[in-house]
A and B are shown apart, each in its own frame.
Chain A
């Protein structure tokens, strides 16, 4: 039976964002653009930045089926971020109109799936939202708050 995760993502949890190389990592720095909202193959525009919770030792096995996205890229590893640190971005790090949270979005295959949710001026950011300085600032904060980059 798949492991169950609490519906509320804990403040002291860490979440992982899968990083592809060399596109999103350079000279040891994670690109802010690595934290992006995808349009799923179904056409659905994600309204969160996809991350994984839980046991970090299982991430390699869990993501082995993730297709390498470009010839020459490798599944480099993952960046770890503290949930509390992510939520702090929404407490005035950008401005008072930008809110950031981490919510649970479990799926059958990934019960540990979660998402970083961003609201700018009460509008939830999705993959269809045009690039704005506020969104770039959130992405930059996320990149700077990577506490660890772990290679597969």
Chain B
């Protein structure tokens, strides 16, 4: 039997079907057919695919403890009802929660470091960041994001960014970049 080694294994989700996915990186692609055969024989495996292109490799997203914490926390906010923080406070909007969950699903673990999620009594979500040389805040509504970040003495602010995964990732990358 040839010598080969697994470089990394991490869990993610298939983008179209949302099914759990395991991504395995090996030292030598010539070993992939053997690995594929072995994995196909395992119970519960629906599909085995090999990613070869650089473009597809870039799409790999590491998920871990921060993802789990944020998912659990946002789910708990989904239980809030009107009046959760005084008579004028509103339940957190379901569309906002769904969009946030979809966005962090596509966000690498390292970009989530330093961010804390809080509810906002307007029915929004608020993502708060305090890092070494930066502070930031993102208010997420059903359709837009209102945000600021202060970094290296410079302030960026926007009150009309569409709440899309792409825009969400762009903000996090700028704060961490």
Say if A and B assemble together: yes
Residues of chain A at the chain B interface (Cβ within 8 Å): 20, 23-24, 26-27, 29, 31-34, 36, 38-41, 69-70, 73, 95, 127, 131-134, 136-137, 139-140, 143-144
On whether the beta carbons of A133 and B85 are closer than 8 Å, the reply is no
Chain B 132-144 interface mask (CB, 8 Å, partner A; 1/0): 0001010100000
Answer whether residue B152 sits at the interface, using C-beta atoms and an 8 A cutoff.
no
On whether the beta carbons of A23 and B146 are closer than 8 Å, the reply is no
Residues of chain B at the chain A interface (Cβ within 8 Å): 73, 80-81, 83-89, 116-122, 124, 126, 128, 130, 135, 137, 139, 146-148, 150, 155, 157-159
On whether the beta carbons of A132 and B128 are closer than 8 Å, the reply is no
In the complex, which residues of chain B have a beta carbon less than 8 angstroms from the beta carbon of A134?
157
On whether the beta carbons of B118 and A133 are closer than 8 Å, the reply is no
In the complex, which residues of chain A have a beta carbon less than 8 angstroms from the beta carbon of B87?
39-41
On whether the beta carbons of A140 and B121 are closer than 8 Å, the reply is no
On whether the beta carbons of B119 and A136 are closer than 8 Å, the reply is no
- A46's nearest neighbour on chain B, judged by CB, is B88
On whether the beta carbons of B135 and A136 are closer than 8 Å, the reply is no
On whether the beta carbons of B118 and A127 are closer than 8 Å, the reply is no
